[in-house]
Amino acid sequence: MSGFTTRPELRGTFGAVASTHWLASAAGMGVLERGGNAFDAAVASGFVLQVVEPHLNGPGGDAPIIACPAGAEEPIVICGQGPSPAAATMERMRGLGLDLVPGSGLLPACVPGAFGAWMTLLLNQGTATLREVLEPAIYYAREGYPLVSRIPAAIASVRELFETHWPTSAEVYLPGGKVPETGRLFRNPALAETYERLLKDAESVGGREAQIRRALDHWYRGPVAEAVDRYYREAEVWDVSGRRNRGLLTGQDMAAWQVPVERPVFSDHGAYRVFKCGPWSQGPSFLQAINILQGFDLAKMDPLGPDFVHVVAEAIKLAFADRDCWYGDSAPVPLDALLSAEYAARRRALITDQASHEFRPGSPDGRDPILPPLAAAGTLKEPRVGTGEPTVAREDARGGQDRAGEAVTTAGGTHRGDTCHVDVVDRWGNMVAATPSGGWFQSSPVVPGLGFSLTVRGQMFWLKDGLASSMAPNVRPRTTLTPSFAYRDGKPYLAFGTPGGDQQEQWSLLLFLHHAHQGMNLQEAIDAPAFHTDHAPASFWPRETAYGTLTLENRFPDATVEELRRRGHKVTLGDSWSEGRLSACAREADGETHMVKAAANPRGMQGYAVAR
């Protein structure tokens, strides 16, 4: 690498916030400036992201969080991934003539976990009041925020759907019957009123903690849950199956849920210990990949050369094959075996100098894998708008030319829209990494009176018996959402992550490897040319697999591309700055002195870091 970066790696001592939208980063930094800690700042940033990136996340979505209090021996995981409804059974879905859970509408809704996760973080680790963390989001919802170009593009792509089938969404996102304009202020008064009603109710009781608990009751057992229950029981809504279906989620499902607070899983890698969410997420696949890569001298490899790209891509393929066979919340996961050094060695031995075109899950503890239904890319019907991880456009395999947004190029085309991320570190050493998502307006209709949609994460269940991610009542779908955290030399060091669905773990892995092995600073690691593979089954409807594919930004040298093709990779070249939306915050401590660092992604010209 030349050392050139699109922006500096920010350094300071007071604190830092990095996220996928500058308004969220600024809101979080404002909380730090007013004396709040990293947890308060992350909550405020998270609520702002719900308002200013409604095509990527929302109040009715999901939010896995890794939080590390200063000096903790390990971080904690707050699971903002809500479970399936009690009525969500494979028999129910099959009775509707379905072999995949639809990616849109009401059927794939799970308990919306984001609000509970943020409130749990605020209650247990924060210091700010409910009003202090909600006021920035309420301000932008009430007074307006400037629309980046991808939001009107997303609205335009589903305009007919809204006008024909989802009038509650048209009411919010087609003001005056028109698609809003890029750069103009956009308001969501219904959402502002939802939060203002919640605040009024919460502040009717005394004390900070009592108010937060009252807000949780308002959301999961009060007016919000009642509105969701009424709509999901009574409405019949068009979805990607081509039919109108009612929802399965009830107010009782929401009332019965308690936010899980868990220990993370981890693997050691040189001076680093990397922590991830459990196998209800795809997080352990990152750990499996770094375990496999322990056997390669990555520090001596050119990060733009074919050897590095090849071994990393092949390790990802093996880790993802295990992800899709063994991860989930519907059955016990042999995680100790999957993360063992012995298992990593067996998997590493499968990597040759040629690209694999096979789906190759392993046999941890000698157990034979049960394969999910595998469909090659192009064999299923073309996805329609309002599907999966919100699809705004599809283009040919060369990748589209309009890459202003957070486009994810796949072998089947270009999907725009995914998820958000935020990292925070404060002067005391508290750190947070969170990956909020779900509740995208493209994929589910707005609940009347609330101003937001619900998560469609249930599409990630398989309708096949015997898998750890088979559909079942009251279990978490195996989410793609996966914040990352690392200790270095035994001390809390790095919070990082990215949007991107199945690409999240891949791009996060590249940041970590570039930083840990190739000596890049955080901004260099984010700016470096990136890649991903679509070799594994997609986690989103229609769940196709593109065997042997590899998509690289076109900044890679021609010689690298030619050699990778010679090794059997089906290489697609994307645009120069098209892979990933990473952000990161770090803290280095040496005795009584410390330094905070932050970096954010230039791709899409939206993510930003703030530090001082």
Mean pLDDT, range 402-412, rounded to an integer: 31
Here the tokens at position 600 are 């954010």
pLDDT for residue 532 is more than 80: yes
Based on the fold, state whether residues 456 and 485 are members of the same structural domain. Answer: no
The pLDDT score that the predictor gives to residue 378 is 62
SS3 assignment, position 584:
strand
pTM for the predicted model, two decimal places:
0.94
- Calculate what percentage of the chain has a pLDDT beyond 90: 87
Q: Are strands 570-574 and 549-553 parallel, antiparallel or unpaired?
A: parallel
The pLDDT score that the predictor gives to residue 4 is 82
The pLDDT score that the predictor gives to residue 410 is 32
Based on the fold, state whether residues 380 and 456 are members of the same structural domain. Answer: no
pLDDT for residue 396 is more than 50: no
Cβ(422)–Cβ(583) below 8 Å:
yes
Here the tokens at position 231 are 């709509």
The pLDDT score that the predictor gives to residue 375 is 79
Helix H or strand E segment including 290? helix 283-293
The pLDDT score that the predictor gives to residue 98 is 93
Residue 431 resides in a domain: no
Based on the fold, state whether residues 254 and 274 are members of the same structural domain. Answer: no
Based on the fold, state whether residues 564 and 450 are members of the same structural domain. Answer: no
Residue 42 resides in a domain: yes
Here the tokens at position 266 are 């981890």
The pLDDT score that the predictor gives to residue 392 is 32
The pLDDT score that the predictor gives to residue 194 is 98
Residue 433 resides in a domain: no
Based on the fold, state whether residues 95 and 32 are members of the same structural domain. Answer: yes
**What is the 3-class SS of 294-346, one letter each residue?**
CCCCHHHCCCCCHHHHHHHHHHHHHHHHHHHHHCCCCCCCCHHHHCCHHHHHH
Q: Percentage helix, strand, coil, to 5, in the chain?
A: 35, 20, 45
Based on the fold, state whether residues 485 and 562 are members of the same structural domain. Answer: yes
Mean pLDDT, range 179-187, rounded to an integer: 96
Residue 75 resides in a domain: no
pLDDT for residue 386 is more than 60: no
Mean pLDDT, range 214-219, rounded to an integer: 98
Mean pLDDT, range 28-46, rounded to an integer: 98
Name the pLDDT band for 590 (thresholds 50, 70, 90): confident
The pLDDT score that the predictor gives to residue 2 is 52
Give the pLDDT confidence of 536-560 residue by residue, as tens digits.
889 988 888 999 999 999 999 999 9
The number of residues in the chain equals 612
Q: How far is Cα 168 from Cα 190, in angstroms, rounded to an integer?
A: 11
Name the pLDDT band for 376 (thresholds 50, 70, 90): confident
Radius of gyration of the chain (CA): 22
What is the overall mean pLDDT for the chain?
92
Domain termination site, one of 411, 432, 460: 460
Cβ(415)–Cβ(391) below 8 Å:
yes
Question: Using the 8-state DSSP alphabet, how is residue 60 labeled?
Answer: B
Based on the fold, state whether residues 100 and 227 are members of the same structural domain. Answer: yes
Per-residue burial over 229-257, b if 16 or more Cβ lie within 10 Å, else e, is bebbeebebbbbbeeebebbbbbebbeeb
pLDDT for residue 512 is more than 90: yes
Give the pLDDT confidence of 263-299 residue by residue, as tens digits.
999 999 999 999 999 999 999 999 999 999 999 999 9
Residue 437 resides in a domain: no
pLDDT for residue 46 is more than 80: yes
Name the pLDDT band for 47 (thresholds 50, 70, 90): very high
Domains of the chain: total: 2
Nearest to 64 by CA among 338, 251, 259, 209: 259
Based on the fold, state whether residues 115 and 243 are members of the same structural domain. Answer: yes
Based on the fold, state whether residues 210 and 344 are members of the same structural domain. Answer: no
Name the pLDDT band for 411 (thresholds 50, 70, 90): very low
Q: How far is Cα 446 from Cα 433, in angstroms, rounded to an integer?
A: 28
Residue 78 resides in a domain: no
Based on the fold, state whether residues 56 and 181 are members of the same structural domain. Answer: yes
Based on the fold, state whether residues 166 and 118 are members of the same structural domain. Answer: yes
How far is C-alpha 33 from the geometric centre of its chain's CA atoms? 27
Q: How far is Cα 587 from Cα 424, in angstroms, rounded to an integer?
A: 10
Per-residue burial over 112-148, b if 16 or more Cβ lie within 10 Å, else e, is bbbbbbbbbbbbbbbebbbebbbbbbbebbbeebebb
User: Can you give the residue range of the structural domain that contains 224?
Assistant: 20-61+85-258+442-460
Q: How far is Cα 554 from Cα 569, in angstroms, rounded to an integer?
A: 15
Based on the fold, state whether residues 251 and 271 are members of the same structural domain. Answer: no
Residue 455 resides in a domain: yes
CATH, residue 412? 3.60.20.40
Mean pLDDT, range 510-519, rounded to an integer: 97
The pLDDT score that the predictor gives to residue 380 is 52
Residue 31 resides in a domain: yes
